[in-house]
Chain A
Amino acid sequence: MSAAPGAPTAPEPALDERVASRGVLDRLARRPELGALLGALAVLVLFTAVDTTGSFLSLSGVARWTDSAASIGIVAVFVALLMIGGEFDLSAGVMVGSTGLVMGMLVTQVNLSIWPAIVLTFVFAAGVGALNGWLVVTTRLPSFIVTLAMFFSLQGINLGLTKLVTGTVRVSGLGQATGFDSASAVFAGTFGGGYQFRMSLVWWLLFTVLATWVLTRVRFGSWVQAVGGDQVAARNVGVPVTSTKITLFMGTSMAAAFVGVTTALRLESVQAGQGVGEEFTFIIAAVVGGCLLTGGFGSAVGASIGASIIGMAFIGIAYAGWNTDWSFLFLGLILFLAVMVNTLISRRVAGGTK
């Protein structure tokens, strides 16, 4: 195209010389989920390729690994919120067992029917979460230490109390209680005909949407990012730091209770050691999903993608016919790669100030 001499040329769009033109890729790299999404695709391709059963990508295969991912993701989403708020909860894993046992005891020892037992279990979880949060805020100790102490305390109580009451290391016989069928349908039911998709998948997606809504569109979400990003600055502009943090701890504990209740209903019994070790799986899912360990940055969708990666890996390794003992090595490698990528992202976001 050639313009006639003297013809007015189209005005150049006003560009700020301080904003270097940024490619689409570069802009995408600011999203906390991006690294996890690429990772998830890579893991999907990998385990489809090495699949020996031919069913990893079939509907029944997807139903299996989404179920594995859901039990991690439901808690990981709330762990992500807590981490964005600048705190850890190492007691989230053992809480899955504790809440299952509380529910089991209420049903088998106190002879409550299922639904009241579930309500009381959530109240118990909210209480433990509030205690975690209150201890962190008032003692000003790192939440790592406070919740580690809670972890070991609960682990001891789980084992000690279960043995004391039942004489074994498990509480069983939930299936006979009134309300079991309806509760089981809500928490542990299946859908999708013969493919056996689990209800936990629906709950997981629901919680992910809810957490994303809260984080991006609700005032509380802004406060979560603020208390994790800079607690003093947040307090200076009037953000209620204490109640925000306590609410986050309560959310994490209650998410663990959700999984605890689901597991108890599914197996109709609860082991005293249930959930122990899971706390790091939740944290790995959140970190793989782009949550910064230093707080203030991350996403709920990312944590769910992280949970999908772990779910795919656990089921995919079995489908590949490999020894499942290797799955933790896989988790370790994924975690390390993810943190490296996230550190690069955070340096970019902080724009050279760190």
Chain B
Amino acid sequence: MSATESGTPEPTTPEPAAVELDGVGRTFGNVIALRDVSLRVRAGEVTCVLGDNGAGKSTLIKTLAGVHPPTSGTYRVAGEPVTFGSPRDALAAGIATVYQDLATVPLMSVWRNFFLGSEPRKGWGPWRRIDVARAKEVARTELAAMGIDVRDVDQPVGTLSGGERQAVAIARAVYFGAKVLILDEPTSALGVKQSGVVLKYVAQARERGIAVVLITHNPHHAFLVGDHFFLLNRGRMTQDWTREQVTLDELVAAMAGGAELDTLAHELEGIRRP
């Protein structure tokens, strides 16, 4: 990671945001995926980024995660401008991303998944080995601390439900010292109950002082845990609300495109009438 330009901290904010995008744009050839996107994410808050399909959510995640560096604008972490060369750089800076369905290896056990890539080791030389007993114990207690009740840390992750799998990935990111946790559509493939389970872990992570970025197209889920709401539409940030400034109805209406929804309701009424 290297500084691209000297950042001038805003005088109005006493503490710099954990992660901040300032006028960020990203183009792929002649396709403009993101245009002038500004986003502030604070520690101990859940920042929701809402957007429909094609709004630029994926590009935004990948920009934050260090996969795609921005083509314009500034990306700051704790007030310092950064340029990440790879997701590993972002991870080293404390920015962990949990991708939907791409977070765990189904055939591997819960504890192996929990420590994958950062296995605790003991012993010397050729006897240097994974500290299996400690890994299992830590996985069990850490998952319990997040309120995740895994029956057996030896069971393959594939035997867990979708919500539990997300939870294992979140608990892992929290344990390995993530300061910023980016969640990519964590509830989109889940049922109502399972979504509730995952949102509970999101709230847990916030209580631990982590800056959570929740990317979703579901305003109901976002409103349950969100402190700050950004609306992404066709590559631009169109709304920037704190929790006090918005109601669930407004959020839903904004997501669905307000006036468009009214028109749709009217048309559907027309179809129903004989």
Contact = CB atoms under 8 A, between A and B. Distances in A.
A239 B156 contact: no
A229 B105 contact: yes
A21 to B, nearest CB: 12
Given A217-B132, A233-B102, A236-B99, A225 B121 contact: no
A19 interface: yes
Contacts of A239: 116-117
Contacts of A354: 158
Contacts of B117: 223, 226, 234, 237-239
Contacts of B132: 217
Chain A interface category by residue count: 20 to 34
Interface stretch (B106-114, B240-248, B254-262): B106-114
A236 B129 contact: no
B63 interface: no
B161 to A, nearest CB: 10
Contacts of B116: 222-223, 226, 234, 237, 239
A200 B151 CA distance: 44
Given A18-B151, A222-B130, A225-B108, A350 B102 contact: no
A296 interface: yes
The winner among B107, B112, B158 for most chain A CB atoms within 10 A is B107
A351 B159 contact: yes
Contacts of B152: 19
A189 to B, nearest CB: 25
Interface in A217-248: 217-219, 222-223, 225-226, 229-230, 232-239
Contacts of A234: 105, 116-117
Contacts, number: 88
B175 to A, nearest CB: 12
B88 interface: yes
Contacts of A18: 151
Contacts of A258: none
B106 A19 contact: no
A353 interface: yes
Chain B interface category by residue count: 20 to 34
A12 interface: no
Nearest to A230: B105
A350 B151 CA distance: 16
Contacts of A218: 128-130
B102 A232 contact: yes
B142 interface: no
B119 interface: yes
A217 B106 contact: no
A47 interface: no
B97 interface: yes
The winner among B103, B106, B112, B172 for most chain A CB atoms within 10 A is B106
A297 interface: yes
The winner among A213, A217, A222 for most chain B CB atoms within 10 A is A222
B118 interface: yes
Contacts of A222: 108, 112, 115-116, 119, 130
B231 interface: no
A229 B102 CA distance: 11
A350 B99 contact: no
A16 interface: yes
Given A18-B151, A219-B119, A350 B103 contact: no
B181 to A, nearest CB: 14
Contacts of A16: 151
Contacts of A235: 87
B104 interface: yes
B232 interface: no
A211 to B, nearest CB: 14
Nearest to A296: B107
A217 B87 CA distance: 27
Contact of B87 (A233, A236, A349): A236
A296 B105 contact: yes
B107 A229 contact: yes
Interface string B69-90: 0000000000000000001100
A7 to B, nearest CB: 32
A233 B130 contact: no
A238 B117 CA distance: 5
A346 B107 CA distance: 9
Contact of B118 (A19, A217, A236, A238): A238
A233 B105 contact: yes
B91 interface: yes
B106 A350 contact: yes
A237 B175 CA distance: 13
Contacts of A349: 107, 156, 158-159
B130 A217 contact: yes
Contact of A233 (B103, B119, B159): B103
A11 B241 CA distance: 54
Given A353-B159, A354-B158, 19 more contacts: A18-B151, A19-B151, A213-B129, A218-B130, A222-B115, A222-B130, A225-B105, A225-B108, A226-B116, A229-B106, A230-B106, A234-B116, A234-B117, A237-B116, A239-B116, A296-B107, A296-B108, A350-B156, A351-B159
Interface pairs A-B: 6 shortest CB-CB: A351-B159, A229-B105, A238-B117, A237-B117, A217-B129, A296-B107
Interface of B: 87-88, 91, 97, 99, 102-108, 112, 115-119, 121, 128-130, 132, 151-152, 156, 158-159, 172
30 contacts: A19-B152, A217-B129, A218-B128, A218-B129, A218-B130, A219-B119, A219-B121, A219-B130, A222-B108, A222-B112, A222-B130, A225-B105, A225-B112, A229-B105, A230-B105, A236-B87, A237-B117, A237-B118, A238-B87, A238-B88, A239-B116, A296-B105, A297-B107, A349-B107, A350-B106, A350-B107, A350-B156, A351-B156, A353-B106, A353-B158
